[in-house]
Amino acid sequence: MGRGGAPKDRTDGPDRKCIATGEVQPKYGLIRFVAGPEGQIVPDVLGKLPGRGIYVVADRGALEKAVQKRLFARGAKQSVTVPEDLVGEVERQLARRVIDLISLQRKAGKAVAGYEKVKSWLQMEEAEVLIQAVDGSGRGKSKLSTPHYGHYIGWLTADELGLAFGRQTVIHGALASGGLTQRVVEEANRLKGVRENEGGNGHSKG
């Protein structure tokens, strides 16, 4: 499964093997899990928790397979307990991660929200990433196009984007290049794989 906007030459240490698909790929396309002190499986979205890492590709089907076929025990080489809503928890953590990164870009002056500001950034070629709420009006969203050299993120809700931009709701947003923008794209691609909604089908460029 392709990782969308993730760069091919990114090196985040050695590749890791997915326990569900057998795929070997760079860590930024996978979700890391660890077994806690009581043997409970914990998602480690930031990749910083101590312990032996167990990796699953950032894909909802692969995560569900890992849960249903009890593959975490094999990966951990011990008996483990898997939380009932593990996939949902992964999705929530990834969404929070994307929101936090966009917020940091906003504070650094590298993100704007609102139709007119986004349109202006696109016209001036300031924007590298176009972000639109999955639950926004299709007609309104179609008036803005993904930068021809950039990326599109369209699977966050208006409420989630509102959190990122310090507003109640946001439909249109844009990110400039540099800073944490590439990390936003990578984390959003992981979220896209895990999240089930119509916004995960991509967006036509033009």
Contact 81, 181 (CB under 8 A): no
Residues 101 and 189 in one domain: yes
Neighbours of 14 (CB within 10 A): 8
206 within some domain? no
Q: Please return the burial class of 198, using the count of CB atoms within 10 Å of its CB with bins 0-12, 13-18 and 19+.
A: exposed
> pLDDT for 4-55, tens place per residue?
444 444 445 679 999 999 999 998 899 999 999 899 999 999 999 999 999 9
User: Of 84, 109, 134, which one is at a domain's C-terminal end?
Assistant: 84
Task: Give me 38's structure tokens.
Answer: 């009581």
Residues 78 and 146 in one domain: no
Residues 108 and 133 in one domain: yes
Strand 151-153 vs strand 54-57: parallel, antiparallel, or unpaired?
A: unpaired
> pLDDT for 74-100, tens place per residue?
999 989 999 999 999 999 999 999 999
For residue 33, what are the domain limits? 16-84
Q: Please return the burial class of 157, using the count of CB atoms within 10 Å of its CB with bins 0-12, 13-18 and 19+.
A: middle
The Cα–Cα gap between 179 and 187 comes to 14
Question: How would residue 196 be classed by pLDDT, with cut points 50, 70 and 90?
Answer: confident
pLDDT at 2 > cutoff 60: no
Contact 182, 28 (CB under 8 A): no
- Structural domains of the chain, count: 2
Contact 87, 60 (CB under 8 A): yes
Question: 113: helix, coil or strand?
Answer: strand
> pLDDT for 138-193, tens place per residue?
888 999 999 988 999 999 999 999 999 999 999 999 999 999 999 999 999 999 99
User: Of 53, 84, 115, which one is at a domain's C-terminal end?
Assistant: 84
CATH of the domain at 32: 3.30.1230.10
Q: E strand or H helix at 205, and its extent? A: none
- pTM, entire model: 0.86
121 within some domain? yes
